A and B are shown apart, each in its own frame.
Chain A
Amino acid sequence: MKLHIETTINGEPAEYLCEPHETLLSVLRNGVGLTGTKEGCSTGDCGACSVLLDGRLVPSCLVLAPEAQGRTVTTIEGLARGDRLHPLQQKFLEHAALQCGICTPGFIVAAAALLDKNPNPTETEVRYWLAGNLCRCTGYDKIIKAVLDSSAQLQKAAV
């Protein structure tokens, strides 16, 4: 029997039917149609499916879809504000911090969670926070620079 779940996705009320064993990742991609959240491993090791659940960074492949009942989910599709990209999205573009781009949504969601918690991280803090996100193309160099630059820009904007 499918379960009926009511939740909030990217600031808007949403509902879906899901199997009790279905993952949040599967429902986001196949049920709700938000395919920006990517599947790389389904074992919580690659971070491509990173989303925020009540503001907390989680791999959506390890969250059961019914667990989203009454909670708020933020995906990559929910980061831009109208026609304005999130500063991290803009900095990823400027720093060429993506090559194939499959890991990019997960990295940006994870980095957004970091900057929310720690607006002024060191390079080491960024590297360890993002150690749950795999990128095979970039060697991480430009990703780290994009996150540090975003942090600097957000600091400037806050002053």
Chain B
Amino acid sequence: MSERVFKYIGTRPIRHDGVDKVTGRANYGADLTLPGMLHGAVLRSPHAHARIVSIDTSAAEAVAGIKAIVTGKDFPETTAKLALGEAAIDLHDIADNVIARTKVLYGGHAVAAVAATNPDAAREALSKINVVYDVLKPVLTVDQATAPNAPILHDAMVTKGVKDAKGPTNVAARMELKRGDVEKGFAEADVVVEREYRTPTVHQGYIEPHACVARFGEDGRAVVWCSTQGPFAVRDQVAAIVGIDPALVKVIPSEIGGGFGGKIVVYLEPLAVALSRKAQRPVKMVMSRDEVFKASGPTSGTKIRVKIGAKRDGTVTAASASLYYEAGAYRGSPAGAGMACAYAPYKFPNFFIEAFDVVVNKPKVAAYRAPGSPMASFAVESTLDEIARELRLDAVDLRLKNAAAEGDHAPYGPAYGPIGVKTILDAVKNHPHWSAPLGRNQGRGLALGFWFNGGMNSSATVLLNPDGSAAVITGNPDIGGTRAAQALMVSEELGIPVERVRPIVADTDTSGMTDVTGGSRVCYATGMAVINAARDVREQLRARAAKIWDVDVESIKWEDGQAIPPPGVEKAPHPLGVADIGAKMAHTGGPIVGRASLYAPMAGPGFGAHICDLEVDPETGRTTILRYTAFQDVGKAVHPSYVEGQIQGGAAQGIGWALNEEYVYNPSGLMENAGFLDYRMPVASDLPMIETVLIEVANPLHPYGVRGVGEVPIVPPLAAVANAVRQATGIRFTELPLSPPRVLAGIEQASRQPVGVS
């Protein structure tokens, strides 16, 4: 497989949707206007935690231009569950999150929505809706939520996974993973390091706010145009939450301006459909940036305690961890994923990990790129860095000593197939970056990261034109170049130039059912469906050639985009190319359409290692990233530019998480920095070029060896940065972000201590 010589895979053609996107022609979620369209707006809770006593909309209904108002009463109770992304999601909670019924659980929680002929009227109406709240005390952290007599978010909540648990509680679930004998392992260790870490709530930070247009027709059918990672997921959520038959809902995905996991769960779409049903006119809804921060789905703030013991030679003998992940207002943090990822790069003989899913009065968390893994990796890789320091071992050598390899069991169970951990670490060691000199106040950090990579449902259709060109249709919105990747796969299978393949993202009535663009699954799983659909076309081409030559189809070879007849065929012309056979379609059996659908197994696991060099200004606490190199086992890079782009973008997001990004709350539980000025994401002047090293250890589950690549690169940066700051300052920071005030406070505190802190 890895020896296969590719003609198109691995090249870097210009993406098919590129011209539309550099000229401004591409249509995103907020770009659609329909005749008679109304403008929707949402009234949001000004309290972090309160009971809704009453909602009076009568004054709002009298505002000129108001056509519809909905509240929680307009939506049915639902108990349905939906397999979404990497977890099954409780639609009762999603519905309650879309619009509160009895309680508001975070500042920004929707309580009513209006549709008006213009945005000004919609805003005026919102100001005239009178909501009476019984304000309750909020809980904002794991510690507050688990304290005795803590305010309770959900009166019926008991802890799942605990025998005979009694409620009510804010701990939604407890999980554990273990192997071997941890106590014995720690007893055998020469050095044991234990630390407690904290990471803040952070947001995906996609530049395009959530946006949709919904039209509910007289025939009871709803059409939803929206920016989403999963049109089929939107269809099913909308149907269940609004209370209509999914067969009557069509979702047309727009181009999507970033998602990173945050555009899978619905927020606006059910409101827009319900408003349109009441008004019998199309309704457009677009979130403001303030709403995106306060009312979409960031990822968990965490508290993680890690303890690792090792022998003098670096062999880890035991490891334990307790992971507390904030779920936000409803159960469902990625604590379980964090638990499975924490020690995944290593073959530790003994470990015990417990994880807790804890509700707090913050927005309900959504998926964010490798959900749960970056925080766990931050804690584990920081602790391993301390072990290496205690033992005076090279950080690469310590990790090589414990690295998982093919045949070792993942902490979450199955034995690994071929994986690239050791290959990556060898590449780190041999890279000039690892041994480059450092200056004063500078430090270098290394960290590993892991993500499972998803599989799931995918469908693809390949249409062949008589001129030998083709179209490939899937239902996965293209967030980062998947159209180009899919076209390359069709080119590879059929031997036609990539410019003659048109990749199409279709709606829910046009594409076969396909799961979300998420889980790093599109190039892998939908890619397999595309390859199979193209092979279906190829087999039909062989059959047509057999007909033309009047020979047995089995005797026909397919090479480099051509059907080759068996020896002795006199009938010209031969060989026959795709266009030759296409031209004869009508006389050999009609149009040629290839199709494939599959449920892909969980993809080959992905690993990466990042090296970060930085300098800390001791006067201001400001950290400047000087050099950054990211190594990753990508299986097989289909379009290397977009693989590099995934790695560079993931690294940049992780650097932002490490250095500056955090939700800041006031004591009432309201977010104080809901804007890009104060929620400080990396800008171009904050970063150096990010060098990528693509390592290709073929994934045996995929015909080309492809692995998912999108999520792994956000995992290592948190600890890579923290470990570099450790070297630059001598201080082990255990709480993110490493913003200038925090670093400066650490430096000042250390300088007051007579003895060195390292």
What residues of chain A have their CB less than 8 Å away from a CB belonging to chain B?
19, 29-30, 33-43, 45-46, 48, 75-77, 79-80, 85, 89, 92-96, 98-105, 108, 124, 126-128, 130-145
Most-contacted residue by chain A among B255, B260, B645, B681 (CB, 10 A): B645
Partner of B289, one of A40, A131, A145: A40
A sample of 12 more A-B contacts (CB under 8 A), given A40-B208, A85-B23, A139-B651, is A38-B257, A93-B19, A96-B481, A100-B479, A101-B257, A102-B255, A105-B24, A130-B684, A135-B684, A139-B645, A139-B652, A140-B682
Could you list 7 examples of A-B contacts with CB < 8 Å?
A36-B23, A38-B28, A42-B288, A93-B14, A96-B639, A127-B684, A136-B652
Known: A36-B23, A108-B22, A127-B685. A139 touches B479 (CB 8 A): no
Contact B480 A137 (CB under 8 A): yes
Q: Give A25 to B26 CA distance when docked, in angstroms.
A: 17
Q: Which of chain A's residues have a CB closer than 8 A to the CB of B209?
A: 39-40
Closest 4 A/B residue pairs (Cβ)? A36-B24, A102-B257, A139-B648, A101-B21
What residues of chain B have their CB less than 8 Å away from a CB belonging to chain A?
12, 14-15, 17-19, 21-28, 30-31, 33, 120, 204-209, 255-260, 286, 288-289, 479-481, 639, 641-642, 644-646, 648-653, 675-677, 681-687, 689-690
Q: Who on chain B is nearest to A30 by CB?
A: B33
Q: Give A130 to B33 CA distance when docked, in angstroms.
A: 31
Least CB distance, B693 to chain A, in whole angstroms: 14
Q: Give A77 to B649 CA distance when docked, in angstroms.
A: 27
Least CB distance, A47 to chain B, in whole angstroms: 9
Q: Which of chain B's residues have a CB closer than 8 A to the CB of A136?
A: 204-207, 258, 260, 649, 652-653, 681
Q: Give A19 to B118 CA distance when docked, in angstroms.
A: 11
Most-contacted residue by chain A among B24, B31, B255 (CB, 10 A): B24
Least CB distance, B689 to chain A, in whole angstroms: 5
Least CB distance, A105 to chain B, in whole angstroms: 5
Most-contacted residue by chain A among B27, B205, B255, B652 (CB, 10 A): B652
Q: Which of chain B's residues have a CB closer than 8 A to the CB of A133?
A: 683-684
Contact B22 A43 (CB under 8 A): no
Least CB distance, B200 to chain A, in whole angstroms: 18
Q: Which of chain B's residues have a CB closer than 8 A to the CB of A128?
A: 684-685
Most-contacted residue by chain A among B649, B653, B686 (CB, 10 A): B649
Known: A98-B21, A133-B684, A134-B676. A43 touches B26 (CB 8 A): no
Q: Which of chain A's residues have a CB closer than 8 A to the CB of B648?
A: 138-142
The B contact surface, by secondary structure, is loop
Q: Who on chain A is nearest to B286 by CB?
A: A39
Known: A93-B14, A93-B19, A102-B207. A144 touches B684 (CB 8 A): yes
Contact A37 B24 (CB under 8 A): yes
Q: Who on chain B is nearest to A86 by CB?
A: B22
Q: Which of chain A's residues have a CB closer than 8 A to the CB of B18?
A: 92-93, 98
Q: Give A89 to B687 CA distance when docked, in angstroms.
A: 23
Contact B23 A89 (CB under 8 A): yes
Most-contacted residue by chain A among B255, B648, B683 (CB, 10 A): B683
Q: Who on chain B is nearest to A146 by CB?
A: B22
Q: Which of chain B's residues have a CB closer than 8 A to the CB of A30?
A: 33
Least CB distance, A2 to chain B, in whole angstroms: 11
Q: Which of chain B's residues have a CB closer than 8 A to the CB of A46?
A: 207, 289, 676
Known: A77-B24, A134-B207. A99 touches B687 (CB 8 A): no
Least CB distance, A122 to chain B, in whole angstroms: 12
Least CB distance, A153 to chain B, in whole angstroms: 15
Q: Which of chain A's residues have a CB closer than 8 A to the CB of B288?
A: 42
Q: Give A132 to B641 CA distance when docked, in angstroms.
A: 25
Contact A104 B684 (CB under 8 A): no
Q: Which of chain B's residues have a CB closer than 8 A to the CB of A142?
A: 641, 644-645, 648
Contact A100 B206 (CB under 8 A): yes
Contact B684 A143 (CB under 8 A): yes
Q: Who on chain B is nearest to A35 by CB?
A: B31
Contact A138 B28 (CB under 8 A): no
Q: Who on chain A is nearest to B639 by CB?
A: A96
Contact A96 B19 (CB under 8 A): no
Q: Which of chain A's residues have a CB closer than 8 A to the CB of B685?
A: 124, 127-128, 130-131
Most-contacted residue by chain B among A79, A134, A138 (CB, 10 A): A138
Contact A137 B120 (CB under 8 A): no
Q: Give A13 to B614 CA distance when docked, in angstroms.
A: 51
Partner of A43, one of B25, B30, B676: B676
Least CB distance, A4 to chain B, in whole angstroms: 18
Q: Give A105 to B31 CA distance when docked, in angstroms.
A: 14
Contact B21 A104 (CB under 8 A): yes
Most-contacted residue by chain B among A79, A108, A133, A134 (CB, 10 A): A134
Least CB distance, B649 to chain A, in whole angstroms: 5
Q: Give A96 to B639 CA distance when docked, in angstroms.
A: 10
Known: A92-B22, A133-B684, A144-B684. A102 touches B289 (CB 8 A): no
Least CB distance, B181 to chain A, in whole angstroms: 43
Contact A102 B22 (CB under 8 A): no
Contact A101 B684 (CB under 8 A): no
Q: Which of chain B's residues have a CB closer than 8 A to the CB of A95?
A: 641
Contact A96 B641 (CB under 8 A): yes
Least CB distance, B398 to chain A, in whole angstroms: 28
Least CB distance, B269 to chain A, in whole angstroms: 19
Q: Who on chain B is nearest to A126 by CB?
A: B684
Q: Give A85 to B648 CA distance when docked, in angstroms.
A: 27
Known: A19-B120, A141-B690. A100 touches B256 (CB 8 A): yes
Contact A135 B22 (CB under 8 A): no
Q: Who on chain A is nearest to B120 by CB?
A: A19
Contact A135 B207 (CB under 8 A): yes
Least CB distance, A67 to chain B, in whole angstroms: 19
Q: Which of chain A's residues have a CB closer than 8 A to the CB of B207?
A: 38, 40, 46, 48, 100, 102-103, 134-136
Known: A43-B289, A100-B206, A100-B208. A137 touches B649 (CB 8 A): yes
Q: Which of chain B's residues have a CB closer than 8 A to the CB of A134?
A: 205, 207, 676, 681, 683
Contact B677 A93 (CB under 8 A): no
Q: Which of chain A's residues have a CB closer than 8 A to the CB of B21?
A: 98, 101, 104
Q: Which of chain A's residues have a CB closer than 8 A to the CB of B26?
A: 101
Q: Which of chain A's residues have a CB closer than 8 A to the CB of B208?
A: 38, 40, 100, 102
Q: Give A144 to B684 CA distance when docked, in angstroms.
A: 8
Q: Give A9 to B193 CA distance when docked, in angstroms.
A: 64
Partner of A104, one of B22, B206, B641, B682: B22
Partner of A75, one of B24, B645, B652: B24
Q: Which of chain B's residues have a CB closer than 8 A to the CB of A33?
A: 33
Q: Give A61 to B690 CA distance when docked, in angstroms.
A: 31
Partner of A98, one of B22, B24, B28, B675: B22
Q: Give A126 to B12 CA distance when docked, in angstroms.
A: 25
Q: Which of chain A's residues have a CB closer than 8 A to the CB of B684?
A: 126-128, 130-131, 133, 135, 140, 143-144
Q: Which of chain A's residues have a CB closer than 8 A to the CB of B676?
A: 40-41, 43, 45-46, 134
Q: Who on chain A is nearest to B630 by CB?
A: A139
Q: Which of chain A's residues have a CB closer than 8 A to the CB of B259?
A: 100
Most-contacted residue by chain A among B27, B257, B650, B653 (CB, 10 A): B257
Q: Give A93 to B12 CA distance when docked, in angstroms.
A: 11
Q: Which of chain A's residues have a CB closer than 8 A to the CB of B12?
A: 96
Q: Give A30 to B88 CA distance when docked, in angstroms.
A: 39
Q: Which of chain B's residues have a CB closer than 8 A to the CB of A127?
A: 684-685, 687
Q: Who on chain B is nearest to A140 by CB?
A: B684
Contact B675 A45 (CB under 8 A): yes
Q: Which of chain A's residues have a CB closer than 8 A to the CB of B652?
A: 136, 138-140
Q: Who on chain B is nearest to A21 by CB?
A: B120
Q: Give A57 to B187 CA distance when docked, in angstroms.
A: 65
Q: Give A85 to B20 CA distance when docked, in angstroms.
A: 11
Known: A35-B27, A141-B648. A43 touches B681 (CB 8 A): no
Q: Give A108 to B258 CA distance when docked, in angstroms.
A: 18
Q: Which of chain A's residues have a CB closer than 8 A to the CB of B651?
A: 139
Q: Give A127 to B686 CA distance when docked, in angstroms.
A: 8
Q: Give A132 to B207 CA distance when docked, in angstroms.
A: 13
Least CB distance, A83 to chain B, in whole angstroms: 11
Q: Who on chain B is nearest to A105 by CB?
A: B24
Q: Which of chain A's residues have a CB closer than 8 A to the CB of B639?
A: 96
